[in-house]
Amino acid sequence: MKLGRSTAAVSPTLGSMLKFEVGLIVEVMADIEAPIERVWEAVTDISLSSQYSTEFVGAEWIDDRPRLGASFRGRNQRGSRTWETTSWVNAYEPMKVFGWAVSDPTNPGATWTFSLQPIDGATRLRFNRLLGPGPSGMTARIEREPDREHELLASRNEQHRVSMQAVVDGV
């Protein structure tokens, strides 16, 4: 697919004090010169992101297909650390939204969502991550180093922003 403009945003503003309870959102986007059907096919291929991500290395469906409530197992690696997660599809509107909750469908450690919007001969693809409200590796790290919470969250947000932008640019 041929890529058009791309931009990124992190919320809340980096100038404010980051606290885990805020429900930190990182969002990136790209305008892709391709029909929405092709972009939808790409974002619902759960392993495609692994080609572009700096951390996500692949996934397999536990259930037979992408649909609301379906689950998959994902594999991640950062440096020498590797881990797996189970995720549940919590948003599924064909040609519009595909999202999943990590680790616990009712109290996720993070929620990831692709949103698609048709625009003048292209597709606007947004990708966002909401941290929490459930526990994750980030909450464990903050518990060990509470005086560094702002720094840890800012660093993790930037890692995710860079990787997520690479994914939407790769699509």
- pLDDT (tens digit per residue) in 62-102: 987 899 999 999 999 999 999 999 999 999 999 999 999 99
This prediction's pTM: 0.86
Query: Is residue 88 within 8 Å of 64, Cβ to Cβ?
Result: no
- Integer Cα distance of 93 and 112 in angstroms: 14
**Residue 119 main-chain phi, psi, to 5 deg:** -140, 150
CATH code where residue 14 lies: 3.30.530.20
Residues of the domain holding 77: 2-170
Q: Which one-letter DSSP state was computed for residue 164?
A: H
- Integer Cα distance of 46 and 114 in angstroms: 11
Query: Residue with structure tokens 């594999």?
Result: 75
Structurally, the chain folds into a number of domains equal to 1
pLDDT at res. 63: 87
**Average pLDDT along the chain:** 87
